[in-house]
Chain A
């Protein structure tokens, strides 16, 4: 099987044309970026606003948890049956699936900002929009990025399934391969989409560390530029590791 997989990858026709691997990878990334971007435009401001006012938080968590139970395949199929073929219906389904993690990330990030810092921000005379933008949103960055990563991975995975309802992208290799029982092609598609997911996750993690404000970024930069500075905070309490029977 592995030999046949090698043959599949080394076939030069796999690497060119609109059904070639590079084109499918770009397609897949394109769908993903489009769906995540639309979902982010909807979910991030909404989540931040709900987090700031702290009203409706329970509803957000409830909806986010509820939507997680939705079977991606069913949602895709339903959207296409109701709205027809083409790019739009599956993209809408992907957007719907990407919204809960983004919404939850923005909401819990903003609502979880240090209450002392928020109180101090108001107390020194920040207006509400300044409190949100200067204190709560920066505090939310790690959780928003977590939500973004989760949403992106979920969309990459679901976009693979979306080949079943006629979308392009890397799922084509798996779905088309299955329909003609071409196992090397299925396996090749699976390898590519797995590698793509891991690479995207890695890149997003790195980007996240770069844009996270505060000491994390500092630590990263210090590691990159030279030896880490001596710790200034008191050393952590001895862990349970040291008191074992």
Chain B
């Protein structure tokens, strides 16, 4: 599909990849870090404030830092991807730790009593029970990622944000609106996807409310 002289499909694909891949990578990184913060008090004392501080750094600033820190080219989409990964990790580390904390002691104790070891306990009991909290965190990270991807357009990285910057330069409102609507629709689509995924992983939560 082409509009305003742009290949919209390509922009959409770039937008989705730049938003979704970092969120998923961020989740994978946040899981062990969050588990570490859950297990170790000193780790938590470092990780939680650090992720809080990272989360406060404005996106445009972070996109500018990444090439300096990692040596990536300044115009590379990787900078946006890493920025969003950092935000996702910052947001989820605490969620993961708190979700694991929130698993009731009675359940952990019972699992240990029936013979679960550390790893089995984590993957068989604690993580599944943490899924609702994780899903909530993932949804927040995902929605803001879809909106932040557009910031990359300011440093020349293509996404639906390109329609906003170029629309601004050409004084073309319809183009800007297309970019906004597209970005919002994509955010909602993936939000619904994460929600459905989270639900399908936790059939027991629906059984409880269904009674």
On A, residues with C-beta under 8 Å from B are 1-2, 65, 68-75, 77-78, 80-82, 153, 156-157, 160-161, 164-165, 171, 174-175, 178, 183, 186-187, 189-191, 193-194, 197-198, 201, 237-241, 243-245
Contact = CB atoms under 8 A, between A and B. Distances in A.
B17 interface: no
B127 interface: no
Given A161-B151, A174-B60, A78 B116 contact: no
Contacts of A245: 112, 116-118, 121
Contacts of B173: 78, 81-82
Contact of B151 (A65, A73, A178): A73
A193 B151 CA distance: 16
A75 to B, nearest CB: 7
Given A70-B147, A81-B173, A201 B56 contact: yes
Nearest to A245: B112
B43 to A, nearest CB: 13
Chain A contact surface mostly: helix
Contacts of A243: 105, 108-109, 112
Interface in B108-155: 108-109, 112, 116-118, 121, 140, 143-144, 146-151, 153-155
Interface stretch (B2-10, B20-28, B181-189, B200-208): B181-189
10 contacts: A69-B191, A77-B168, A81-B176, A157-B58, A161-B151, A187-B65, A189-B61, A240-B103, A240-B108, A241-B39
B180 interface: yes
Interface in B42-84: 52-53, 56-62, 64-65, 68, 74
A65 B68 CA distance: 34
A198 to B, nearest CB: 5
Q: Which of B53, B60, B151, B183 has the most CB of A within 10 A?
A: B60
A74 B116 CA distance: 51
Nearest to A82: B173
A200 B21 CA distance: 31
A198 B91 CA distance: 16
B184 A71 contact: yes
Given A74-B179, A186-B64, A243-B112, A69 B147 contact: yes
Nearest to B184: A69
A197 to B, nearest CB: 5
A73 B65 contact: no
B198 interface: no
B68 A1 contact: yes
Contacts of B53: 198, 201
Nearest to B167: A77
Contacts of B179: 71, 74
B85 interface: no
Given A81-B171, A81-B176, A240-B103, 17 more contacts: A1-B68, A68-B144, A69-B143, A69-B183, A69-B187, A69-B191, A70-B147, A70-B180, A71-B148, A71-B180, A73-B165, A74-B161, A74-B179, A161-B154, A186-B64, A189-B61, A190-B64
Nearest to B111: A245
Contacts of B196: none
Given A74-B176, A78-B180, A190 B117 contact: no
B164 interface: yes
Q: Which of A74, A174, A198 has the most CB of B within 10 A?
A: A74
B177 interface: yes
Contacts of A77: 164-165, 167-168, 176
Contact of A69 (B68, B168, B188): B188
A70 B179 CA distance: 10
A70 B177 CA distance: 11
A178 B109 CA distance: 57
Contacts of B183: 69, 71, 74
B12 to A, nearest CB: 14
